[in-house]
Amino acid sequence: MKGLSLYNIEGKQIGEVKVDEEIFDGQVNKPLLQEVLNIYARNKRQGSASVKTRAEVRGGGKKPWRQKGTGRARAGTINSPLWRGGGVVFGPHPRDFSTTLPKKMKRKALLSALNLKIKEDQVLVVDKIEIKQAKTKEWAKILSAFNIKERCLVLLNMPNKEIERAGRNIPHLCIECFKNVNAEQICCYHKLIIEKDALDKLTERIRGKGE
């Protein structure tokens, strides 16, 4: 795989960044990536849906009418699932949908997501992200310099509250430290802006040395 173009914060190309071709080989494991994305989506489920069974519905202690002689069908309780307001048969109850992912599986999915973005030419590597003040206009200038109007994910080398505060009012912009990013976030955003140092450390993380 060829090197990636290196830009400054003004959107001008200032050089090239060589990437490890053994890792960033352009291969995308789509079945693995799909499976991991499904697991991330399943882990977000609250699992709070709940209904009452016939044992949990209030009332129903007295037989509604006598067994014989009324002409009606036999009934022993108003809590029966056949009755309006009765219990529910096989209804949902609170449960945990979360699944734990192996570290190696997460790293391979992250690598596939990055390879996919690089193949689509949606990755922009910048030398360093700096802003003068924590204002939305600072990030508006940066996005305008790169002509970005789509959903954009920014990966920083180190957490920076000023940079994060400046971008939080832009709805299609997400700013994260490279340590916290996963395959789902990379796939959800159209453009990826990443600091050069963050790319180097993310490469180490994919190798398994950063955990």
pLDDT digits (tens, 9 = 90+) for 129-148: 988 888 999 999 999 999 99
pLDDT band at 26 (very low <50, low <70, confident <90, very high): confident
Specify whether 80 is located in the same domain as 107.
no
pTM, full prediction = 0.81
Specify whether 38 is located in the same domain as 122.
yes
Specify whether 115 is located in the same domain as 199.
yes
What pLDDT sits at residue 24?
Answer: 86
Region label for 38, one of left (φ > 0), alpha (ψ between -120 and 50) or beta (otherwise): alpha
Specify whether 38 is located in the same domain as 128.
yes
User: By residue range, what is the domain housing residue 134?
Assistant: 4-45+100-207
Tokens of 127: 């030398």
The residues near 13 (Cβ < 8 Å, ≥ 6 apart) are 5, 6, 7
